[in-house]
Protein backbone atom coordinates (compact mmCIF):
# COMPACT_ATOMS: atom_id res chain seq x y z
CA UNK A 1 0.00 0.00 0.00
CA UNK A 2 2.82 2.42 0.86
CA UNK A 3 5.43 1.17 -1.59
CA UNK A 4 6.09 4.69 -2.92
CA UNK A 5 7.10 5.78 0.59
CA UNK A 6 9.88 3.18 0.89
CA UNK A 7 13.30 3.93 -0.60
CA UNK A 8 14.88 1.22 -2.82
CA UNK A 9 16.61 -1.69 -1.04
CA UNK A 10 15.12 -0.79 2.36
CA UNK A 11 13.48 -3.75 4.17
CA UNK A 12 9.90 -3.02 5.22
CA UNK A 13 10.47 -3.76 8.96
CA UNK A 14 13.46 -1.40 9.04
CA UNK A 15 11.44 1.26 7.23
CA UNK A 16 8.63 1.17 9.79
CA UNK A 17 11.09 1.02 12.69
CA UNK A 18 13.03 4.15 11.69
CA UNK A 19 9.92 6.10 10.75
CA UNK A 20 8.28 5.21 14.08
CA UNK A 21 11.40 6.27 16.01
CA UNK A 22 11.48 9.56 14.08
CA UNK A 23 7.86 10.41 14.96
CA UNK A 24 8.27 9.40 18.61
CA UNK A 25 11.34 11.67 18.84
CA UNK A 26 9.21 14.53 17.50
CA UNK A 27 6.67 13.86 20.25
CA UNK A 28 9.42 13.82 22.87
CA UNK A 29 10.90 17.06 21.55
CA UNK A 30 7.54 18.86 21.41
CA UNK A 31 6.84 17.83 25.01
CA UNK A 32 9.59 20.22 26.09
CA UNK A 33 12.16 17.53 26.91
CA UNK A 34 15.37 17.88 24.85
CA UNK A 35 13.77 20.51 22.64
CA UNK A 36 16.35 20.22 19.84
CA UNK A 37 15.93 16.46 19.50
CA UNK A 38 13.33 16.79 16.75
CA UNK A 39 16.09 17.71 14.28
CA UNK A 40 16.94 13.97 14.07
CA UNK A 41 13.56 13.04 12.59
CA UNK A 42 14.13 14.45 9.11
CA UNK A 43 17.53 12.88 8.31
CA UNK A 44 16.43 9.62 9.94
CA UNK A 45 13.40 9.38 7.68
CA UNK A 46 15.39 10.43 4.62
CA UNK A 47 17.55 7.34 5.07
CA UNK A 48 14.55 5.14 4.27
CA UNK A 49 12.12 7.39 2.36
CA UNK A 50 12.10 9.60 -0.77
CA UNK A 51 12.81 13.22 0.22
CA UNK A 52 9.51 14.66 -1.01
CA UNK A 53 7.52 12.05 0.90
CA UNK A 54 9.44 12.88 4.08
CA UNK A 55 8.63 16.59 3.94
CA UNK A 56 4.99 15.92 3.11
CA UNK A 57 4.56 13.23 5.78
CA UNK A 58 6.04 15.30 8.58
CA UNK A 59 4.04 18.50 8.13
CA UNK A 60 0.56 17.29 9.22
CA UNK A 61 2.14 15.40 12.13
CA UNK A 62 4.13 18.46 13.19
CA UNK A 63 0.94 20.50 13.17
CA UNK A 64 -0.72 17.98 15.48
CA UNK A 65 2.32 18.15 17.77
CA UNK A 66 2.13 21.95 17.73
CA UNK A 67 -1.58 22.00 18.52
CA UNK A 68 -0.98 19.68 21.46
CA UNK A 69 1.84 21.94 22.67
CA UNK A 70 -0.18 25.17 22.47
CA UNK A 71 -3.08 23.48 24.26
CA UNK A 72 -0.78 22.98 27.23
CA UNK A 73 0.73 26.45 26.81
CA UNK A 74 -2.33 28.37 25.66
CA UNK A 75 -1.71 31.10 28.24
CA UNK A 76 2.09 31.15 27.94
CA UNK A 77 3.01 33.30 24.96
CA UNK A 78 4.39 36.68 23.98
CA UNK A 79 2.57 37.91 20.88
CA UNK A 80 5.09 40.66 20.19
CA UNK A 81 7.94 38.20 19.76
CA UNK A 82 5.76 35.66 17.94
CA UNK A 83 4.72 38.21 15.32
CA UNK A 84 8.25 39.58 14.98
CA UNK A 85 9.30 36.16 13.75
CA UNK A 86 6.13 34.98 12.04
CA UNK A 87 5.51 37.96 9.75
CA UNK A 88 8.95 37.82 8.02
CA UNK A 89 8.76 34.00 8.15
CA UNK A 90 5.88 34.24 5.66
CA UNK A 91 8.38 35.60 3.13
CA UNK A 92 10.69 32.66 3.77
CA UNK A 93 7.75 30.28 3.40
CA UNK A 94 6.95 31.79 0.00
CA UNK A 95 10.57 31.29 -1.11
CA UNK A 96 10.55 27.69 0.11
CA UNK A 97 7.21 27.00 -1.58
CA UNK A 98 8.62 28.41 -4.84
CA UNK A 99 11.52 25.95 -4.58
CA UNK A 100 9.12 23.03 -4.04
CA UNK A 101 6.98 24.23 -6.95
CA UNK A 102 10.06 24.27 -9.22
CA UNK A 103 10.98 20.79 -8.05
CA UNK A 104 7.44 19.63 -8.82
CA UNK A 105 7.69 21.04 -12.35
CA UNK A 106 11.02 19.38 -13.14
CA UNK A 107 10.65 16.20 -11.10
CA UNK A 108 12.09 15.22 -7.74
CA UNK A 109 14.79 12.95 -9.23
CA UNK A 110 16.99 15.86 -10.27
CA UNK A 111 16.79 17.52 -6.87
CA UNK A 112 16.70 14.58 -4.43
CA UNK A 113 20.46 14.41 -3.89
CA UNK A 114 20.72 18.20 -3.52
CA UNK A 115 17.97 18.24 -0.88
CA UNK A 116 19.57 15.30 0.94
CA UNK A 117 22.89 17.10 1.02
CA UNK A 118 21.27 20.29 2.26
CA UNK A 119 19.54 18.36 5.04
CA UNK A 120 22.85 16.62 5.77
CA UNK A 121 24.58 19.99 6.22
CA UNK A 122 21.74 21.25 8.44
CA UNK A 123 21.89 18.06 10.52
CA UNK A 124 25.65 18.37 11.03
CA UNK A 125 25.39 22.07 11.94
CA UNK A 126 22.61 21.41 14.42
CA UNK A 127 24.54 18.43 15.80
CA UNK A 128 27.41 20.83 16.50
CA UNK A 129 24.85 23.27 17.92
CA UNK A 130 23.82 20.64 20.49
CA UNK A 131 27.48 20.28 21.52
CA UNK A 132 27.82 24.03 21.97
CA UNK A 133 24.28 24.57 23.25
CA UNK A 134 25.18 25.42 26.83
CA UNK A 135 27.84 27.90 25.76
CA UNK A 136 25.69 29.42 23.03
CA UNK A 137 22.73 29.77 25.37
CA UNK A 138 24.93 31.46 27.96
CA UNK A 139 26.15 33.93 25.32
CA UNK A 140 22.65 34.56 23.96
CA UNK A 141 21.33 35.21 27.46
CA UNK A 142 23.52 38.35 27.62
CA UNK A 143 22.79 39.56 24.08
CA UNK A 144 19.11 40.28 23.62
CA UNK A 145 18.18 40.12 19.93
CA UNK A 146 16.24 43.06 18.50
CA UNK A 147 13.72 43.55 15.68
CA UNK A 148 16.34 43.38 12.90
CA UNK A 149 17.57 40.03 14.16
CA UNK A 150 13.96 38.89 14.43
CA UNK A 151 13.40 39.74 10.77
CA UNK A 152 16.42 37.71 9.64
CA UNK A 153 15.44 34.89 11.99
CA UNK A 154 11.93 34.89 10.56
CA UNK A 155 12.95 34.75 6.89
CA UNK A 156 15.60 32.07 7.46
CA UNK A 157 13.36 29.98 9.70
CA UNK A 158 10.45 30.25 7.27
CA UNK A 159 12.60 29.04 4.37
CA UNK A 160 14.42 26.22 6.20
CA UNK A 161 11.19 25.11 7.83
CA UNK A 162 9.43 24.92 4.46
CA UNK A 163 12.25 23.02 2.79
CA UNK A 164 13.30 20.76 5.64
CA UNK A 165 11.27 21.41 8.84
CA UNK A 166 14.58 22.40 10.41
CA UNK A 167 14.14 25.84 11.97
CA UNK A 168 13.78 24.80 15.62
CA UNK A 169 17.21 25.86 16.95
CA UNK A 170 17.12 29.13 14.98
CA UNK A 171 13.84 30.25 16.54
CA UNK A 172 14.79 28.86 19.96
CA UNK A 173 18.00 30.90 20.12
CA UNK A 174 16.14 34.10 19.25
CA UNK A 175 13.33 33.53 21.77
CA UNK A 176 15.82 32.48 24.46
CA UNK A 177 17.64 35.80 24.03
CA UNK A 178 14.49 37.62 25.20
CA UNK A 179 15.07 36.45 28.76
CA UNK A 180 11.81 34.54 29.18
CA UNK A 181 11.34 31.93 31.87
CA UNK A 182 11.17 28.32 30.72
CA UNK A 183 7.36 28.16 30.58
CA UNK A 184 6.97 31.37 28.57
CA UNK A 185 9.89 30.34 26.34
CA UNK A 186 8.36 26.94 25.50
CA UNK A 187 4.92 28.44 24.93
CA UNK A 188 6.18 31.25 22.67
CA UNK A 189 8.21 28.81 20.54
CA UNK A 190 5.22 26.45 20.31
CA UNK A 191 2.85 29.21 19.18
CA UNK A 192 5.41 30.49 16.65
CA UNK A 193 5.77 27.10 15.00
CA UNK A 194 2.06 26.48 15.05
CA UNK A 195 1.55 29.59 12.94
CA UNK A 196 4.49 28.79 10.64
CA UNK A 197 3.44 25.18 10.04
CA UNK A 198 -0.23 26.06 9.50
CA UNK A 199 0.86 28.68 6.96
CA UNK A 200 3.00 26.11 5.14
CA UNK A 201 0.10 23.64 4.79
CA UNK A 202 -1.83 25.27 1.89
CA UNK A 203 1.41 25.82 -0.03
CA UNK A 204 2.35 22.15 0.43
CA UNK A 205 -1.08 21.22 -0.90
CA UNK A 206 -0.80 23.65 -3.84
CA UNK A 207 2.59 22.33 -5.02
CA UNK A 208 1.33 18.75 -4.77
CA UNK A 209 3.23 17.51 -1.73
CA UNK A 210 0.13 16.76 0.33
CA UNK A 211 -1.78 13.94 -1.35
CA UNK A 212 -4.43 11.48 -0.06
CA UNK A 213 -1.80 8.73 0.30
CA UNK A 214 0.26 11.03 2.53
CA UNK A 215 -2.70 11.65 4.81
CA UNK A 216 -3.44 7.92 4.94
CA UNK A 217 0.19 7.23 5.83
CA UNK A 218 0.03 9.89 8.56
CA UNK A 219 -3.09 8.22 9.93
CA UNK A 220 -0.99 5.10 10.54
CA UNK A 221 1.57 7.15 12.47
CA UNK A 222 -0.56 9.62 14.41
CA UNK A 223 -0.81 7.48 17.56
CA UNK A 224 2.97 7.76 17.96
CA UNK A 225 2.69 11.50 18.72
CA UNK A 226 0.95 11.18 22.12
CA UNK A 227 3.24 8.23 22.86
CA UNK A 228 6.27 10.46 22.25
CA UNK A 229 4.74 13.26 24.30
CA UNK A 230 4.06 10.86 27.18
CA UNK A 231 7.62 9.53 26.97
CA UNK A 232 8.97 13.09 27.06
CA UNK A 233 7.07 13.86 30.26
CA UNK A 234 8.09 10.50 31.75
CA UNK A 235 11.76 11.06 30.88
CA UNK A 236 11.77 14.58 32.30
CA UNK A 237 12.39 13.40 35.87
CA UNK A 238 14.04 10.05 35.08
CA UNK A 239 16.49 10.55 32.22
CA UNK A 240 19.41 12.95 31.97
CA UNK A 241 18.52 15.52 29.32
CA UNK A 242 22.26 16.15 28.85
CA UNK A 243 22.97 12.51 27.95
CA UNK A 244 19.84 12.17 25.82
CA UNK A 245 20.82 15.29 23.84
CA UNK A 246 24.33 13.90 23.29
CA UNK A 247 22.92 10.62 21.95
CA UNK A 248 20.64 12.56 19.62
CA UNK A 249 23.63 14.67 18.56
CA UNK A 250 25.69 11.63 17.58
CA UNK A 251 22.82 10.02 15.67
CA UNK A 252 22.01 13.32 13.94
CA UNK A 253 25.59 13.84 12.81
CA UNK A 254 25.94 10.24 11.59
CA UNK A 255 22.72 10.56 9.58
CA UNK A 256 23.86 13.99 8.35
CA UNK A 257 27.20 12.65 7.10
CA UNK A 258 25.40 9.82 5.29
CA UNK A 259 23.09 12.27 3.53
CA UNK A 260 25.82 14.82 2.76
CA UNK A 261 28.14 12.30 1.12
CA UNK A 262 25.35 10.05 -0.18
CA UNK A 263 26.72 7.05 1.70
CA UNK A 264 24.43 4.06 1.27
CA UNK A 265 25.13 2.83 4.80
CA UNK A 266 21.93 0.89 5.40
CA UNK A 267 22.17 -1.24 2.21
CA UNK A 268 25.80 -2.00 3.14
CA UNK A 269 24.72 -3.31 6.54
CA UNK A 270 21.94 -5.37 4.95
CA UNK A 271 24.36 -6.91 2.45
CA UNK A 272 26.86 -7.66 5.23
CA UNK A 273 24.20 -9.46 7.26
CA UNK A 274 23.08 -11.67 4.40
The pLDDT value given to residue 139: 61
b/e code 69-105 from CB counts within 10 Å (16+ = b): bbebbeebbbeebbebbbebbeebbbebbebbeebee
How many CA atoms lie less than 13 Å away from 245 in the CB half-sphere? 18
Range 243-269 average pLDDT:
76
- Domain containing 157 equals 3-273
The pLDDT value given to residue 205: 93
82 pLDDT higher than 70:
yes
75 pLDDT higher than 90:
no
The pLDDT value given to residue 132: 65
Its pTM stands at 0.84
The pLDDT value given to residue 159: 94
74 pLDDT higher than 60:
yes
Residue 117: C-alpha distances to residues 15, 51, 161 (Å): 21, 11, 16
49 pLDDT higher than 70:
yes
The pLDDT value given to residue 90: 96
**Overall domain count for the chain:** 1
Amino acid sequence: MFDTFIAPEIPIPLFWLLVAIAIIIQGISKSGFAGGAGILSLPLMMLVMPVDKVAATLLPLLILCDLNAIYHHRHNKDWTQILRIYIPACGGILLGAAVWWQIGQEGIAGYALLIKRMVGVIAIIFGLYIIAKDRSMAWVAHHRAGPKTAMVTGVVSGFTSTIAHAAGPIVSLYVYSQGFGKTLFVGTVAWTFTLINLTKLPFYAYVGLIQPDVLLFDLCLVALIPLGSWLGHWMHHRVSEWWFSRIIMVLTMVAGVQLLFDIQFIPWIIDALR
